[in-house]
Amino acid sequence: MALFETKSALRESELPKLQTKSGELLIQIRACAVCRTDLHVIDGDLPDPKLALIPGHQIVGHIVERGPNAHRYDVGDRVGIPWLAWTCGSCRYCKSGQENFCDSAQFTGYTRDGGSAEFAVIDERFCVGTPDSCGDAETAPLLCAGMIGSRSLMKTGDAHRLGIFGFGAAAVLITQVAVYEGREIYVFTRSKNNQELARSLGVFWVGNSEHPPMAKVWMRRSCLRHPEQSYRLRCELFVREALSFVAEST
């Protein structure tokens, strides 16, 4: 499926067979997830996309051909193709491990063709290996939403209580990881559907960002109700009341 003009529908198209250059791989695509950024590209919100363009940058597929000097993977290997498709390798960002800031960077499904197709060509340095334990469709969203989410989650260190603003794909994925790790998650999202989804994933509190999170509300309520009690006891009462509220609302 190709985009010939921004703000227009994708059209099914027959395109010439792809050729690999040095260091590139030809991938037979098994799955390609859709990201909000794909919609921004199609809507013309991002400047100067390649046109005609095959969108999609969360691609999973098998290597069917290796170009000259491509030795990192074998034919038949399954790989993932993310947003970052190429960088110069010589600027200060590339040399300091921050190649995502490279001024000459190219991007899958934006300045290079992406994954809404049967085949794609990618520089092997920007592929990622994908373990066989996860299916093609389940692996594809990890290549953008999962990467963004895991980067954010890592920055929280070992914090027990996490607040998540908005509940898009990255949030949905890292919430599952954080809940599995036993963390207490507060989700701020306006959409009722997203609130339901967050609850179904086992988060501690869900609401929109106009409402203060429940820990704060219950703590204040506990202080007002039991002003004569010590701080320690008010904390205990808070925990008891908050837990009974959670039990009632689930």
Binding residues for Zn ion (CB under 5 A): 35, 37, 87-88, 91, 94, 102, 144
Are the CB atoms for 30 and 127 separated by under 8 Å?
no
231-249 vs 214-225: helix crossing angle, rounded to 10: 130
CB of 142 to Zn ion, least distance (A): 11
In the block, which residue shows the tokens 């002003």? Answer: 227
Burial of 55 (0-12, 13-18, 19+ CB in 10 A): buried
CB of 58 to Zn ion, least distance (A): 6
Burial of 118 (0-12, 13-18, 19+ CB in 10 A): exposed
Which of 27, 22, 142 is CA-nearest to residue 75? 27
In the block, which residue shows the tokens 């980067």? Answer: 151
CB of 100 to Zn ion, least distance (A): 10
Burial of 192 (0-12, 13-18, 19+ CB in 10 A): exposed
Judged by CB, which is closer to Zn ion: 37, or 222? 37
CB of 104 to Zn ion, least distance (A): 6
Judged by CB, which is closer to Zn ion: 35, or 172? 35
CB of 222 to Zn ion, least distance (A): 42
Judged by CB, which is closer to Zn ion: 35, or 164? 35
Judged by CB, which is closer to Zn ion: 87, or 195? 87
Q: What is the dihedral of CA 9, 139, 118, 24, to 10 degrees?
A: 110
Judged by CB, which is closer to Zn ion: 97, or 157? 97
Angle at 41 between CA 36 and CA 42, to 5 degrees: 95
Question: In the structure encoding, which two tokens stand for residue 181, read together?
Answer: 């790790």
CB of 36 to Zn ion, least distance (A): 7
Judged by CB, which is closer to Zn ion: 170, or 201? 170
CB of 143 to Zn ion, least distance (A): 8
Judged by CB, which is closer to Zn ion: 33, or 242? 33
